[in-house]
Amino acid sequence: MTPLPAESGPGRVGARGRLVAVIGLLDRPLTSYYLVLGCSMLLLALGLTMVLASSNVDQLERTGSAFTLLQKQAAWIGIGLPVMWLASKLPPRTFRALAYPLLLLSVIGLVIVLIPGLGVSAWGATRWIDVGPFQVQPSEPAKLGLVLWGADLMARRERLGQLTDWRALLIPLLPGAGVVVMLVMLGSDLGTTVVLLTIFLTLLWVVGAPVRLFVGMAGLIGLLVAILIVVEPYRMQRLVGFLDSSGDPLGIRYQGNQGLLAVASGGWFGTGLGEGRAQWGFLPRAENDFIFAIIGEQLGLVGTLVVLGLFGLLAYAGLRIARRVRDPFMRLAAAAVTGWLSVQAIVNIGGVIGVLPITGIPLPLVSYGGSAMIPTLAALGMLLAFAQREPGARQALAARGPGPARRALSWLGLARR
């Protein structure tokens, strides 16, 4: 009997069959929907766990309860999840109608932040407004406002066939984005400035801006970021500390060094939840900007790879939505949201592991903070709404049958007949 060649052996066929099955799953109409929903929920659950693991010692000393920040974060998520659900049910025209009011309110908030006595400064930046017991950061909803406004503007221009002229590409998108960026810059928030500029560049890329124009805008933005770094002494110190890892280990390099030490000490599987050293006051702002370092320490390399994988899948789903939807507004908004979340995650993680300068920007869905959480969940809810408008998605949803909420209403006799 002639043996089978290696290429056609049972193991080879089995591996190929599994690969074909996985590719088949990724090609289903609701793949984007379930990827966005699943990755979001997993990152939220991980974030809640790590907020507790990174803040319990500090909060026990300050407030007498190890769960103070966990409870606050859970409250913000409790507000954000209904917002996400509502956004997932809205039609695209509603998002377009919200674009101008949201951007206008964000600009007003950014102006208020700059008024002496009203804006709250911390860690070298003026970003917050005190609203009762809470601090609100207007630059966070400004990201979503710029996404919606820019996508609506470019979609209108595309419908009118005006995108062949570079002036129609840049005006009023460039001045509008410039106003938002300038106000954030005046508050010394470099990390958010980079994200806003990423949204601007993403919109230009998706509408097919000429390469020369795109490269020119990218060069101009690079020059702007360089100027922002040079004119602020503390940013210049951070850049020098980033370039010279051996200098001032107890000063400007302290947070970065402690973050790297925490990640390195985690090994393959980490020290265990709540068993790390960094949570004992060695790592400043561990629950916020440096929560990835706590993940690396307590969950090890495996934990950090899980986080990277979840953000990678989320980016894939966002780009898949942008590629498959037919409406120009949905395509532009989905790509801009994907660029926003991906670059923010890259900048945060890059700062923690020492490959990028520290900018003080949170890790989406994972870091502590409500001002960033609610706009992010609203943006993800919008992606879910767009995913339901991919080819074949409506039919797949109809075939799936009623959801748990509708079934519960049916049991109570309250469902619409």
Buried b (16+ CB within 10 A) or exposed e, 246-271: eeeeeebbebbbbbbebbebbeeebb
Task: Say how far apart CA 194 and CA 222 lie, in whole Å.
Answer: 10
94 — pLDDT class (breaks 50, 70, 90): very high
Task: Say how far apart CA 73 and CA 51 lie, in whole Å.
Answer: 8
Q: What 3-state DSSP class applies to 126?
A: strand
Cβ atoms of residues 188 and 126 within 8 Å: yes
Q: Is the confidence at residue 335, as pLDDT, over 90? A: yes
Cβ atoms of residues 126 and 203 within 8 Å: no
pLDDT, tens digit, for every residue of 275-314? 878 787 778 778 888 899 999 999 999 999 999 999 999 9
Q: Is the confidence at residue 20, as pLDDT, over 70? A: no
**Domain locations along the chain:** 31-388
Alpha helices in 278-390 (DSSP H): 291-324, 328-353, 370-387
Question: What pLDDT was estimated at residue 171?
Answer: 83
Cβ atoms of residues 282 and 42 within 8 Å: no
More confident residue, 77 or 13: 77
Question: What pLDDT was estimated at residue 14?
Answer: 64
pLDDT, tens digit, for every residue of 395-412? 777 776 555 545 444 444
pTM over 0.85? The answer is yes
Average pLDDT over residues 189-195: 85
Number of other residues whose CB lies within 10 A of the CB of residue 147: 29
pLDDT, tens digit, for every residue of 215-260? 888 888 888 777 777 776 666 766 666 666 665 565 566 777 888 8
Average pLDDT over residues 259-266: 86
Report the half-sphere exposure of 156 (CA within 13 A, side-chain side): 12
Task: Say how far apart CA 329 and CA 312 lie, in whole Å.
Answer: 23
Percent of the residues in the chain that have a pLDDT greater than 90, as a whole number: 38
Q: At what angle do helices 370-387 and 92-114 cross, to 10 degrees?
A: 160
Q: What 3-state DSSP class applies to 134?
A: strand
